[in-house]
Structure 1
Amino acid sequence: MKLLFSCSLLLFITAACLCGSAATRKLRGISSSYKRFYRERRSFLCIDGSRVIPFEQVNDDYCDCEDGSDEPGTSACPRGRFYCTNLGFRPHYIPSSRVNDGICDCCDASDEYNSHARCQNSCWNLGQRERAYVEGQMRTLDEGLQLKQQLIEEGVLLWREKQAQLRELQQVAEDLQIKLEEHRRRKQEVEQTLKALEAGDTRVRGKNSSESTFRLLDSNKDGSLSVEELQEKLVLVQEEELLLSEEEAVALMGGGRQMDLPMFQHSLWDVLNTENRVKIRGIVDAEDPHLKAADTAAEREASSLKKVEEAYDTINMEISDLRKKLTIDYGPDWEFLFLNSQCYQLNVYEYTYNLCPFNQVTQKSTAGSEVSLGRWGMWAGTPKNPYSQMVYENGEPCWQGGSRSTTVTLTCGTETALCGVKEPSKCQYIIDFQTPVACQPVLKQRGIHSEL
């Protein structure tokens, strides 16, 4: 009797143990959100609803459901997934083909429950490292957002300064335009006067000019011109300058041998100014104070006009350049404005990459040759964050055809610097560019995992 009781008790305990191990077996590889589908009952409905099977066939190492939901803890189903709980770290799914393959894919080693692999549970150490990394990222984000706010304030001030600078340049350009028109008018007047003087227009040159010429010819200053004085001072202009003969001098004096000022003004003066065959020895215009003054004035006006034109052109180029800069999209708060006129370098092997935001990207070899990798094109980020990428296009032609281009990816950082360059395809470059203005405020996450 005692023996029979002991055997019955032993069978009960054994059955209880087997039921416990079966329950554990049934629930292996299932996330907590899916456990409601695996409650022990007479039958099991495949999660995709395709088939009903006896519950004893769940995790029996034979695939009955098309979606593999009856074998979450074995490698029987090709489409199956095994859930790594990874307490202390991030939970995740692995393909069921990796279950019991001798390699621990879950940090808690739960995927190798029936293999020769002996893996240590590393979830806690991994979780600590990830928590430290996340905390560091959050500190970087907080510091970056503070720096970004400063750069936003600087950007607003800089934008206002550039607007004021544009207004000042426009006012200077208007003033120079008025000066330019005035200088052009004065230069034209002086040139007309000089032209008239050079043409010998007595209405312009005036009486004093004829008198000064008479005094120049009157060598002995006796108030009259003689044949000898004309021979001394005048020359005939043919292929070369020839001295006057006595007969030629007498003919110029109208047949007489003396000529006073009134006679000179009504006869010989017109000959000297309207005919090119007779002139005073040397350059007569150089002796004319009116002509000399007009020539000096013309040179002065031309020089002044040139200076005003150069200043006007320079101002207009500055206005054009400033307007071009002000048309660029620097972000909703002008936070990217500080990048304009700045350049950043990074050495990668034998190349030096140079990024000048909103201008161009270049690559310079150690040999000294420089290649354009693209000029500023546009922002090309996601709809939620359009300012996360820059595109630089139309660089120098690539030997395979087409032109070089560069995509600049902006990431959050406490400093503004180039962090990396890649060339995933020929002549197509990707640059990692860190800057505080790329930092975006985010909601505080609850943590790596609710069970941490």
Structure 2
Amino acid sequence: MELHFQLVLAFLLLSPCFIQTRRIRGVSMSYRRLYRERKSFLCMDGSRLIPFVQVNDDYCDCTDGSDEPGTAACPNGRFYCMNLGFRPHYIPSSRVNDGICDCCDGSDEFSSRMQCPDKCRMLGQKERRELEETMKAVNKGLLLKKQLIEEGALVWQEKQEQLKQLQKMAEDLKIKLEDHRRRKLKAEAEKEHLQKAVMPDPNSVEGQGERPGQAPHGGRPRVDQGSVFHSREKEGKAEIQEQHDPANTSPHENPVIREAQSAVDSAVAELQKVEEAHDSVQMEISELQEKLENDYGPEREFVFLLSRCVQMTVSEYMYTLCPFSQVTQKNSAGLEVMLGKWSGWLGPPDSPYRQMKYDEGEACWQGPKRSTLVSLVCGTETDLRSVKEPSKCLYSMELQTPAACSLNTQRSSIHNEL
């Protein structure tokens, strides 16, 4: 009986199956077929064929390190952590048997003195709880997104109505503008007429001192054959000249001229007011049209961000993001710097609404103009989660908002966490 047991044990120790289990470490199940016990082993990059006994012998034979998946012999090698109950993953082969537990199942320290407890089950349970919380947040975010889409539709309608009202106001102001221009021209014409009446042409007969109605050089009196308007003009001239001697009174001091100038000034002031109002309305129309031309998502789910700014303090700086407008940075002394103006969406083709770009900010000292990239992530609140400056004059922000939640986000969370 004892002899039979020893023979069975010897057979198991010498069988290829046992040799494979004992010798082949750090290989995933999908690659196990390439490490079956045979006479030779082909490096995965096809560069070399070596005897199979040289696999995991702590000497690097293949340039890609594929012959030493379970040792630290190859600098570019990888060790596969099985991590049953948790997520499997690779670690650099340099970490194998280095006295630090990198795999949660402890499989990377099989020959070291370090006793690594198996924590995979505990980590798996913790991650599943976190996944459940994440899924609850995503589901809540999707519900909030539906509300934002409904609110966005109302905001969009209000903006359209506001545009119509502004355009109607601009048309009314345009009519008033033409009317005030005519009034100004009329007041200027009346003033010019009165000035001519007060100050007769020095080259005319009257300007040479002749009395009205007297013929030149003592001749017979002239009879006015002009129009009624011409007669009234002369009568007005005579009356004004009797009251105010042109030789002693400046036309600017004449009360009639002053009154005419006052009418001109009033017409000019009223015209200027209407012009300013018209220009202001046209500017509002232009700004509103520009906003309405923006892309706010396939269901306009991001429209609600139009009138909302979010802030975050990092160290001594206050960062303010106003979506579809600008990004600024203010220090403790109150100095504000523009970090970029809204430029457009910059996400990948399959998720274009995952990143915003803000450029043409203020120039750095001896550097380029500042710019900011804003990544959008799903969340139940709309606020900034992080602000960084990964390189000079380039800033990165993470904005969480329900508007960024989607079914793809939900599927991605499941795929990444499990």
**Same fold at TM > 0.5:** yes
1:444 aligns with 2:416: no
Q: Structure 1 length as normaliser, TM-score?
A: 0.73
Which whole-Å CA distance do the structure 1 matches of 2:413 and 2:241 have between them? 108
Letter in 1 for 2:403: V
From 14, 17, 22, the counterpart of 1:19: 14
Which whole-Å CA distance do the structure 2 matches of 1:367 and 1:193 have between them? 59
Which whole-Å CA distance do the structure 2 matches of 1:267 and 1:123 have between them? 111
Paired position in structure 2 for 1:260:
none
Letter in 2 for 1:12: L
Per-residue Cα deviation, 1:115-168 (whole angstroms, up to 9, x for no partner): 211011010111122112222222222222222222222223322322222122
Change (3 A) 1:11 1:64: farther
Change (3 A) 1:285 1:270: closer
Contact 2:197 2:236 in 1 (8 A): no
**Residue ranges of structure 2 left out of the alignment (5+ in a row):** 199-233
Paired position in structure 1 for 2:226:
none
1:33 aligns with 2:30: yes
Change (3 A) 1:424 1:284: closer
Paired position in structure 1 for 2:280:
314
Letter in 2 for 1:176: L
Letter in 2 for 1:414: T
Letter in 2 for 1:350: E
Paired position in structure 1 for 2:4:
9
Q: Cα offset for 1:112?
A: 1.6
Change (3 A) 1:78 1:274: closer
Letter in 1 for 2:303: L
1:416 aligns with 2:413: no
Q: Cα offset for 1:362?
A: 1.5
Q: Cα offset for 1:196?
A: 2.3
1:125 aligns with 2:122: yes
Change (3 A) 1:268 1:358: closer
Contact 2:131 2:413 in 1 (8 A): no
Contact 1:180 1:305 in 2 (8 A): yes
Letter in 2 for 1:428: L
Q: Secondary structure at the match of 2:165?
A: helix
Q: Structure 2 length as normaliser, TM-score?
A: 0.78
Contact 1:88 1:449 in 2 (8 A): no
1:402 aligns with 2:397: no
Match runs of 1:289-300 below 5 Å: 298=264
Letter in 1 for 2:31: Y
Q: Secondary structure at the match of 1:132?
A: helix
Per-residue Cα deviation, 1:10-66 (whole angstroms, up to 9, x for no partner): 541440352375343034333222233344455555555555555555444455555
Which whole-Å CA distance do the structure 2 matches of 1:269 and 1:93 have between them? 110
From 131, 134, 139, the counterpart of 1:134: 131
From 87, 94, 97, the counterpart of 2:84: 87
Q: RMSD between aligned alpha carbons?
A: 3.5
Which whole-Å CA distance do the structure 1 matches of 2:249 and 2:67 have between them? 123
Change (3 A) 1:139 1:268: closer
Change (3 A) 1:42 1:197: closer
Q: Secondary structure at the match of 1:347?
A: strand
Paired position in structure 2 for 1:180:
177
Paired position in structure 1 for 2:160:
163
Change (3 A) 1:67 1:277: closer
Paired position in structure 2 for 1:228:
none
Q: Judge which range, 308-317 or 361-370, deviates more.
A: 308-317
Which whole-Å CA distance do the structure 2 matches of 1:398 and 1:328 have between them? 28
**The structure with more radius of gyration:** 1
Q: Secondary structure at the match of 2:375?
A: strand
Paired position in structure 1 for 2:103:
106
From 263, 266, 272, the counterpart of 2:242: 272
Contact 1:200 1:274 in 2 (8 A): no
Paired position in structure 1 for 2:394:
428
Which whole-Å CA distance do the structure 1 matches of 2:38 and 2:31 have between them? 15
Aligned residues between the structures? 379
Q: Cα offset for 1:408?
A: 1.7
Which whole-Å CA distance do the structure 1 matches of 2:249 and 2:66 have between them? 120
Change (3 A) 1:300 1:44: closer
Per-residue Cα deviation, 1:327-378 (whole angstroms, up to 9, x for no partner): 3222232222222232221111111111122222211111122222222222
Paired position in structure 1 for 2:190:
193
Which whole-Å CA distance do the structure 2 matches of 1:311 and 1:300 have between them? 17
Per-residue Cα deviation, 1:381-440 (whole angstroms, up to 9, x for no partner): 222222222222222221233222222222221111112211122222112221122223
Which whole-Å CA distance do the structure 2 matches of 1:369 and 1:47 have between them? 59
Paired position in structure 1 for 2:144:
147
Contact 1:353 1:361 in 2 (8 A): yes
Q: Secondary structure at the match of 1:431?
A: strand
1:74 aligns with 2:44: no
Letter in 2 for 1:74: T
